[in-house]
Structure 1
Amino acid sequence: MSITLTDQDKATLRTAAYGAVSLMAAAGAAGSPHKIATDGSIALASATGLVGHVLAAKSKDIKLYGKSVAELADHVLPALTAAMSLLKQQAPAEAGNFRSTVIVAIDAAARTHQGQPSPALAEMARKITEALDAA
């Protein structure tokens, strides 16, 4: 069975996933936000399945804005919940793929493989996970 997502659906997935990485970079601004963003983005690029195809597509539809972490979070956290909701409805197997892809990306961004993330990064990761699980 082929799954067809609308352009808006794809934009929501991309905004949610890349927004999660952007939130991690913003929360880790005291450290190395560029390294955080790079590590998280590389993890997103390793996604497979429908999610991998959507995230790999060259697109200018990712809308990430805000002058503060709070403004960015106000946009990204609901997008994460919306992405999970739409995948649970249209492609249930891909919902788990999307969730695990984002979790791997935030783990890479927090560099949890190198020890404990900073308290700010750990809290942002918790908020992202909570938004994923809210759907």
Structure 2
Amino acid sequence: MSVTLTAQEKATLRTAAYGAVSLLAAAGASTSKPHKIATSGSIALSSATGLVGHVLAEKSGRIALSGSSVAELADQVLPALTAAMSLLGKHDPVEAENFRNTITVAVDTARLFQTQPNPTMADMTDKITGALTAA
């Protein structure tokens, strides 16, 4: 790896990635199986490669996400997704695209566990995608 990220930058990537999966699980909680959404999305994240894969695989302790509603979680995760894309874009545009693809695969994988069409999950997916392209 030729890019060196600070501890804070790595935390931003992890918060964004695992937060996106958490957001989708929270959005799908009423009509799907949130534990299966979270598990499948996390497995997809653990399959990442490159710099992104190394950062997501590091044993760094707990991801700092808090809140008692989807809105509070989104207030943390969506800006983190945009910040992650911005910081990776400055360091290595190839890794920025790798991050975007990793999140997209995780979201698509997590959505496989929808038990019925869910407009709430579709809307959250759109918000996650929007945050990834806002940088």
The TM-score with structure 2 as length reference comes to 0.94
What is the rounded CA distance, in whole Å, between the counterparts of 1:117 and 1:130 in structure 2? 21
Alignment gaps of 5+ in structure 2: none
Cα distance change on mapping 1:81 and 1:117 into 2, 3 Å = farther
Aligned to 2:51: 50
CA contact (8 A) 1:11 1:61 kept: no
Corresponding residue number in structure 2 for 1:32? 33
Kindly provide the CA deviation profile for residues 51-70 of structure 1, in whole angstroms up to 9, marking residues without a partner as x: 00000111125211111000
Give me the whole-angstrom Cα distance separating, in 1, the residues matched to 2:117 and 2:17.
20
Unmatched tracts of structure 1, length 5 or more: none
- Counterpart position of 1:11: 11
Q: Distance in 2 between matches of 1:25 and 1:50?
A: 26
What TM-score does the superposition give when structure 1 sets the normalisation length? Answer: 0.94
Is it true that 1:132 corresponds to 2:113 in the alignment? Answer: no
Q: SS at the partner of 2:61?
A: coil
The Cα of 1:77 is off from its aligned counterpart by 0.1
For 1:23 and 1:41, the matched residues in 2 are separated by 12
Hey, what does 2:72 align to over in structure 1? 71
What's the counterpart of residue 41 of structure 1? Answer: 42
Distance of 2:133 and 2:51 partners within structure 1? 20
- Count how many residue pairs are aligned between Structure 1 and Structure 2: 134
- Give the Cα–Cα distance (whole angstroms) in 1 for the partners of residues 61 and 72 of structure 2: 20
User: Which residue does 2:87 correspond to in 1?
Assistant: 86
